[in-house]
Each structure stands twice: as structure tokens, then as C-alpha cells.
Structure 1
Amino acid sequence: MRQATIVLGVVLLLLSAVAPAAGVAAPASDAAASADAQEPDCEFPTTQSDATDYDVTVEEEPERVVTLNPSAAQTMWEIGASDKVVGVSQFADFLDGAQDREVVTSGYPSSVDVEQVISLDPDLVLAPNTINNETVAQLRDANLTVYRFEKATSIEDIYQKTQVIGRLSGECEGAESTVTEMRDEVETVEAAVEGEDEPTVLYDMGDRYTAGPNTFIGQVIDRAGGDNIAANANSSMLYPQLSAEFIVEQDPEFLVVSAQPDQLGNESETYVAEDSVLRNTTAFEEGNVVVVDTNHISQPAPRVVEPMTQLAQAFHPDAYAEANTTTRATTQETTAAPTTTAGDTTTDGESSGTTVPGFGIPVALVAVLGAALLSRRRL
């Protein structure tokens, strides 16, 4: 019963994965766009409409930011703005240095210590939509600037969310650089797996809960070249619980499970419970169990591209290896004899520190290629 309750909480939290309010333009992805056209604009004051249809105005560049969920904190870390964060949720402790920030939430699902947030005197509070309206109102009544996010259902939502956080926090350049790296990695994966046969895949969140196709996790599986069996479940739920009979009938060729960083590195089969129906699948029998970092796959934030890359490598090892061999050869040739043409673009953004080997290349190079349980709490 306790396990089922925890898993239900995981599903509810995943349903609240954040994304920016509609109307925020995504950056141009055309490889021929000029660098000047993509130059980020970070002027203050700035006003953005949030998930509550509230016009949030940030008068000056924030120096003190409180993040009420770990995906917003992860994004601040990735865009190079971690030094501005003074408060985090209790689930952000996987980030380097987060232990030095004030923890302003507790419980599961999280509840906010309003007085503690107020005492930190933040210039900006980034809130997921799991935070209830009363809490948001209390923070705003205390004259705090609170931006509340919507659900994220796609990788594009994560791009936009990253840009919005950059805009609100005064870190436009870091946000734009991070999104560019993400796009490069995603496009490289897609180019690598294009035209390959898609193996059937089940992502196990625990107790047979999984991510449906209309979720950002579903997109991770799809873009990595997998066929998510949840698409065949005829469920309207974003994160449905599959029946044991359905799983056996679908007989996935790959299982994807997640674990905390300190639990990674064991034999993959050990992450599947001995009494689990998942052991009755082709995936388990053939050892096709892929273990990914919970904090990366379950959070709609920049590091989600890392499990996408890992899955592409597992599903299509030969195609992925060939694509990256081509990438390395092209990169070496470009380094040896650099040339510039009118249509070239370059990315000089600062690295996020999470680049996967073979990725982080300019978009122009992509064209050359032919184109949870306890910790699943964390969003």
C-alpha cells in the first residue's frame, strides 16, 4: 500500500512538470540563421504571463532567486545562474552546491514554508503548478514576484521553459547557449536513428506506471528511436498504470528503468524486482534493461537530453556509433581547415557541463549527418 501511494505521488508530480506559458517564441532552429538574429535580449523591466494568466513583472535583474521544484533549480544551474539561487526544494540535493542553499519545502508531495521563503527576501520565485493557488497568493501578498509554470509535454516545452527562466533571471545568454546545445544533441540523435527499425520499449516508473506518448518522457523514447508500448494502451492518462497482462502481451524488447546517481552502476537486471512481471519479457530475458538517472529523465529540464542519448545508444548502437564517427571526422576536418561561408552559424555559448561525448556540435554539422520509486518523486 505504501509503495502504491508513493508511485501515485510520482505520477501526480510528473503531471505537473513545468513549462512556460504560451506565447513565448522559441528560438530559430534554422542552421542558416545569423548569430545576430539569435542574440539574446535581456532588458529590464520585463513582463511575462504565467500559468495563472498573471502578468509577472521583474523590475530589475534578480540577485536572489528561490526555486520551488528541482527542475527549475536544475535549469538555473545549467544556464550558469546557480549563484543567484538562495532557496531550493528538498529534492534539489543532486545539484552541486545545492546543499548550501536554504531548503524551503518539505513533505511529499512538497509543501512550501511560506515564511521561510519570505525571510530569504528573493527578487524572484519560480514555482511549479503543483504549488496551490493559496500558497502563490500568500507569496504575492508578501510582495514577492512569483512566476508559476504550466505542465511540460514536449522537448520544445523544455526549450521554452529554459528561455523563460533565462529571461526572468537575467541570464538570456546562458539560456540561449543551453538551448542551442540541447537542440544540437537532440537533432544529432534524431539523425543517427532516422530510418532505423524501432524496438518496442517500456519505461517502468514502478508498480507498472509508465509515461505515455504525449509526455516529454514519451518524446525522449520516441526521439531516441524507440516504440513506446504505452501508445497502444488506449489510455487518456499521461502516466497510465499498465496491466500485467498488457505488458506480457506487448512483450517489449527494451526496458527502461531509473535510479538515483548513488544507485547506478549495478547489473541492470538487479533494478527489476524479482516478483515483477517485467521479468517475463523478451527485454529482461535478453538483458536489454537500460538504467538512466532519475533526476535527468523525470525532470523537464536541460539534462533530459542525456537519457535520450543513452537510449539511442542502447536501441541503435551501430547507427549511433556510425553517426558519431562521422561527427568526429567532420569536426577534426573543420578544426584542421576552418572555413566560413555566408550561411554558417557558430555557437560560442558556455558549456552546461553535461555535454555527452560526440554532442555539443553546431547545428550545421547535424546536416552533415543526413539530416520513479522514491526518487521518481523529483520533478
Structure 2
Amino acid sequence: MRTARRTPAVLLATVLTLSACGTSDPEGAEGAEGADNGEFPVTITDARGEVSLDEEPSRIVSLSPALTEILFEVGAGDQVVAADEHSTYPDEAPDTDLSGFNPSVEEVLEHDPDLVLLARNAEDAADQLEAVDIPVIVLASGTALEDTYAQMRLLGEATGHADEADEAATRVETELTGIVEDTRERLGDDTELSVYHELDDAMNSAGSATFIGQVYERFGLRNIADEAEDSGDYPQLSSEFVVEADPDLIFLGYDTDGAVEALEERSAFDTVTAVREDNVTTLDPDIASRWGPRVVELAEDVSGAVLSAEGT
């Protein structure tokens, strides 16, 4: 029988606070009990509390693109029978019309799941699924690189792939750390580059407390969004602010046609160092917005832009 026994996590608020600050002990990092060598039952701690899984799931529905990528990375891809409409990577991910933002419980149940993964903003569906004896794991969006490694290990434990997940998480962390260390060594200690990350053409940005912001921080970049008054994590900046801040690097987190050209044509942007020196980089929007294993590719893109800006 499929069961999901859940008890509230007493320290959940504290865990959430630490995760948002990018410190250790990210949400869901407590792992699982009884998951050694794929043994079940296991108990994991998700965003809402403890979830007990009596058996290894064989029919997983993932309604989060980042979590879908993680499942395939940790060796659980063959167990995924359906994923949401935005789970476009890897190519083997099942192609469906399921919504991850507003899930239809009826449509999810058509896939006969024995485990459903939900993003935190869709957790309203969890109670309905659990009411019909479907185990549900709810995980929040990653706000620190440590969240990537922790959620990889958690999903490995929940799916019977604890050892593979630990190896994958260690590999991703090691590769990313190596890219950062090599880049900073080549740059030297005197480099002080500034960065502006643009989420869309409305000039919404991302500060250092966000996932993408922490990637930039690892490279020692100064994020101009942190200097905005009452900035919050995702401030909307003005052209005047960006021109005055004069970033050395600009990254676009969207790939619409002509995006770079449109930015360069904004009033006074021809005076911005990043524009004058051709240091405007378009990132793959999926990779830049997901906290999954492809964060290594994101780090490689950032490294390339940083070294180019310094002529290294």
C-alpha cells in the first residue's frame, strides 16, 4: 500500500531562514532515515515536514523542471512516468501538458503515480493527493548552491538511489568549485568586476541572496542590484540606475530575438562599460533559473564571460 505519513517539521521556519540567507543546512537537507543502499521504508524531510515512503517508487510524477532534472541525474529517470510541461530537459523526460503551477489532481492521477513531486508554490495540491494515499514531496526553490546538493541527495534517498545521488552531488559541487577557483586564480586578487543580471526586458534583476546571485558572488563579482534602494531579492531597476552603476558585465536571463541589440540601444547604455567592451552575455534561461545539476554549465558560462572581460 502507498502511504505518506507526515509530521510537521518543528524547526522548519529556522531552516527556511537559513536557506534564504545562503547558509548551511538548506531546506530538506536533513535527508532520510533507513535509506542506506536503497532500503525502504525511508523518511525524508521536505518543505512541510516528514514524509515516510514504505516502498521504492516506480511511477513518479514530477511537477518541477529543476526536480525533473535532478531525478534523471541521480539515476531515477526510468521511474519518472510524467513531468510538467516545462520539464524539457533531459530529452528523455516524459512530455506532457501537466501544469506545475496549478496542478490538476485528476490529470496527475491518470498517470497512476506512487510518488508526486511538487514545487512549494503548488503545495495546495498535496493534501488532495495524500487524501487518496499518494505520497507527495514538496520542495522549495533553491536559493543557495547548497540547496542543489541537498535536494539531489534527498531525492536520491527517496527514490532508492542514495549512493548515486551522493556521487552526483559531490561531482557537481567539485566541478563547480573547480571552475570558480580556477577562474579566480587566473584573475588574481586585484580584480573587482561588477555585474548586472537582467531577468527580463522590464529590467527586473536578481540580488546576491538569490540562487543566480550567489553564483556571481562565488566568482567575486559585485552585484549592482544589491545597491538599489529597498532592493529586495528581485528589484526592478531603472535605466538611469544601471547607467550610473556602470557594470562591467551584463547577463541576460532570457533569449528573445534581438535582446542584446535592444539593450544596447537603450538611452545612454552606449556609455556602460559592459556594452562598450562587448561584455553582454545571454544565458540559457532554463539553466540560469534552475538549481539543478546544470549549474556547472552556468558556472562555465559565467567564467567565460568574466575571463573575457579581463582579457584573460
TM-score class, shorter-chain normalisation, is: 0.7 to 0.9
Instruction: Please identify, of 177-186 and 189-198, the stretch whose mean Cα deviation from structure 2 is larger.
Output: 189-198
Matched, 1:242 2:233: no
The one-character-per-residue Cα deviations of 1:183-224 (angstroms, maximum 9, x if unpaired) are 112221232214351311101101111111011111111123
Structure 1 contact 44–58 (Cα < 8 Å) conserved: yes
Identity between Structure 1 and Structure 2 (%) = 32
Tell me how far apart the structure 1 counterparts of residues 144 and 303 of structure 2 sit (CA, whole Å): 18
Q: For 1:92 and 1:151, how far apart are their aligned partners in 2?
A: 15
Q: Which among 214, 238, 252 is matched to residue 209 of structure 2?
A: 214
Does 1:180 find its partner at 2:170?
yes
Describe the superposition over 1:56-98 as per-residue Cα deviations: whole angstroms up to 9, x where unpaired.
1111111111111100111112223221111111111243023
User: Is 1:47 aligned with 2:43?
Assistant: yes
- Conserved 8 A contact 1:216-1:300: yes
**Further displaced range: 275-284 or 224-233:** 275-284
Aligned to 2:65: 70
- Matched position secondary structure for 1:47: strand
Which of 104, 107, 112 matches 1:116?
A: 107
Question: Could you say which residue in structure 1 is the equivalent of 2:127?
Answer: 137
**Alpha-carbon distance in 1 for matches of 2:67, 2:311:** 31
The 5 Å alignment of 1:294-313 reads 294-313=285-304
Equivalent residues in 2 for 1:336-351, closer than 5 Å: none
Amino acid at match of 1:47: T
Q: Which amino acid in 1 is paired with 2:161? A: E
Match of 1:226 in 2: 221
| Selected match of 1:163 from 149, 153, 156 | 153
- Aligned match for 1:202, one of 193, 196, 217: 196
Alpha-carbon distance between aligned partners in 2 of 1:118 and 1:241, rounded to the nearest angstrom: 40
Q: Does 1:284 align with 2:291?
A: no
Q: Does 1:125 align with 2:116?
A: yes
The total of aligned residue pairs comes to 281
| TM-score normalised to structure 2 length | 0.81
The Cα RMSD (Å) is 2.7
2:96 corresponding residue in structure 1? 102
Give the structure 2 partner of residue 361 of structure 1.
none
Question: 8 Å contact 1:224–1:309 — kept in the other structure?
Answer: no
**Which residue of 2 is the match for residue 86 of structure 1?**
81
Task: Give 1:5-24 correspondences, 5 Å limit.
Answer: 20-24=27-31
Q: Once the 2 structures are TM-superposed, how far is the Cα of residue 103 of structure 1 from its aligned partner?
A: 3.2
Q: 1:20 to 1:43 in 2, by over 3 A?
A: farther
CA displacement, residues 325-353 of structure 1 (integer Å, 9 cap, x when unaligned)? xxxxxxxxxxxxxxxxxxxxxxxxxxxxx
Q: Give the secondary structure class of the aligned counterpart of 1:256.
A: strand
Give the TM-score normalised by structure 1: 0.67
Cα pair 2:30 2:44 within 8 Å, conserved:
no
2:64·2:83 contact (CA, 8 Å) conserved in 1? yes
Render the CA deviation track for 1:153-209: whole Å, top value 9, x for unaligned: 110111101111111111222212221221112221232214351311101101111
Deviation per CA, 1:10-47: give whole Å up to 9, x if none.
Answer: xxxxx9xxx7425349xxxxxxxxxxxxx964321101
Ranges in structure 2 where 5+ consecutive residues have no aligned partner = 1-19, 21-25
Offset of residue 272 of structure 1: 3.3
